[in-house]
Copies of this chain bind each other. A is one copy, B any other.
Amino acid sequence: MFRTAEIGRKIGKTDFEEIAPPLRIELIELQQRLRAADFPAIFVFAGVDGAGKGRTINLINEWMDPRWIVSRAYGPPSDEERERPEFWRYWRDLPPEGRIGLFLRSWYSRPVLDRVHGRSDDGGFEGRLDRIARFEQCLAADGALIVKFWMHLSRDAQKRLFRKWEADPHESWRVSDTDWEHWRLYDKFTEAAERTIIKTSTGSAPWHIVEGEDQRYREITVLTTIRDALVHQFERAETRRRTARALSERRAANGNGADGEPASLAADLAAATGRERTIAPPHQPSVLHVLDMRPAVTAKEAKKGLRKETARLNSLYRQARTEGISTVVVFEGWDAAGKGGAIRRLTAAIDARDYLVIQTAAPTDEERQHHYLWRFWRHLQRAGRVTIFDRSWYGRVLVERVEGYAAVEEWSRAYAEINDFERDLAEHGILVVKFWLHITPEEQLRRFERRAEIPYKRWKLTEEDWRNREKWPAYEAAVNDMVQRTSTRTAPWILVEADDKPSARLKVVRTLCDRLEAALSDPGHPRCPPV
**Chain A residues in contact with chain B, CB under 8 A?**
40, 79-80, 82-88, 91-92, 94, 96-98, 121, 123-124, 126-127, 130-131, 134-135, 138-139, 141-142, 144, 239, 242-243, 246-247, 250-251, 253, 255-258, 261, 324, 326, 366, 369-374, 377-378, 380, 382-383, 413, 416-417, 420, 424-425, 427-428, 430, 528, 530-531
A123 to B91, CA, bound (A): 25
Distance in angstroms from A148 CB to nearest chain B CB is: 18
Distance in angstroms from A387 CB to nearest chain B CB is: 11
Distance in angstroms from A383 CB to nearest chain B CB is: 4
A82 to B142, CA, bound (A): 42
| Of the residues B96, B324, B371, contact of A138 by C-beta under 8 Å | B371
The answer on a CB contact under 8 Å between B91 and A377 is yes
A247 to B261, CA, bound (A): 10
Distance in angstroms from A432 CB to nearest chain B CB is: 11
**A80 contacts across to B, CB distance below 8 A:** 382
The answer on a CB contact under 8 Å between A83 and B246 is no
The answer on a CB contact under 8 Å between B430 and A85 is yes
The answer on a CB contact under 8 Å between A86 and B424 is yes
**A127 contacts across to B, CB distance below 8 A:** 123, 126-127
**A374 contacts across to B, CB distance below 8 A:** 91, 94
The answer on a CB contact under 8 Å between B255 and A258 is yes
**A258 contacts across to B, CB distance below 8 A:** 250, 253, 255-256
Residue of B nearest to A531 (CB): B79
The answer on a CB contact under 8 Å between A130 and B134 is no
| Of the residues B88, B138, B427, contact of A380 by C-beta under 8 Å | B88
Distance in angstroms from A132 CB to nearest chain B CB is: 11
| Of the residues B86, B246, B420, contact of A250 by C-beta under 8 Å | B246
**A383 contacts across to B, CB distance below 8 A:** 83-84
**A135 contacts across to B, CB distance below 8 A:** 420
**A79 contacts across to B, CB distance below 8 A:** 531
| Given A79-B531, A430-B85, residue A371 in contact with residue B94 (CB < 8 A) | yes
**A82 contacts across to B, CB distance below 8 A:** 528
| Given A369-B98, A420-B138, A531-B79, residue A88 in contact with residue B124 (CB < 8 A) | no
**A253 contacts across to B, CB distance below 8 A:** 258
A528 to B247, CA, bound (A): 54
A283 to B364, CA, bound (A): 48
A123 to B324, CA, bound (A): 28
Residue of B nearest to A417 (CB): B138
Distance in angstroms from A102 CB to nearest chain B CB is: 17
| Given A83-B383, A85-B425, A258-B250, residue A377 in contact with residue B92 (CB < 8 A) | yes
A427 to B257, CA, bound (A): 52
| Given A91-B377, A127-B123, A141-B413, residue A424 in contact with residue B255 (CB < 8 A) | no
A94 to B377, CA, bound (A): 11
A239 to B144, CA, bound (A): 25
Can you name 7 A-B residue pairings with CB atoms under 8 Å?
A40-B369, A83-B324, A88-B377, A97-B370, A131-B424, A141-B413, A142-B372
**A123 contacts across to B, CB distance below 8 A:** 121, 123-124, 126-127
Residue of B nearest to A425 (CB): B85
The answer on a CB contact under 8 Å between B366 and A96 is yes
The answer on a CB contact under 8 Å between B94 and A373 is no
The answer on a CB contact under 8 Å between B382 and A84 is yes
**A131 contacts across to B, CB distance below 8 A:** 420, 424
**A380 contacts across to B, CB distance below 8 A:** 84-85, 88
Distance in angstroms from A437 CB to nearest chain B CB is: 27
Residue of B nearest to A142 (CB): B371
A253 to B260, CA, bound (A): 9
Distance in angstroms from A530 CB to nearest chain B CB is: 8
Distance in angstroms from A363 CB to nearest chain B CB is: 12
Residue of B nearest to A134 (CB): B420
A141 to B204, CA, bound (A): 13
| Given A138-B417, A373-B138, A424-B87, residue A261 in contact with residue B251 (CB < 8 A) | yes
| Of the residues B121, B251, B378, contact of A92 by C-beta under 8 Å | B378
Distance in angstroms from A116 CB to nearest chain B CB is: 19
A445 to B479, CA, bound (A): 69
For A40, A88, A239, A372, the residue with the greatest tally of chain B CB atoms inside 10 Å of its CB is: A88
Residue of B nearest to A133 (CB): B130
Residue of B nearest to A126 (CB): B127
A144 to B134, CA, bound (A): 22
A482 to B149, CA, bound (A): 38
| Of the residues B121, B247, B261, B371, contact of A243 by C-beta under 8 Å | B247
Beyond the given pairs A84-B428, A127-B127, A251-B261, 20 more chain A to chain B contacts, judged by CB atoms under 8 angstroms and listed by A's residue number, are: A40-B369, A80-B382, A83-B324, A83-B383, A84-B380, A85-B380, A85-B428, A87-B377, A88-B380, A91-B373, A91-B377, A94-B371, A126-B127, A142-B371, A242-B247, A243-B247, A250-B258, A255-B258, A256-B256, A256-B258
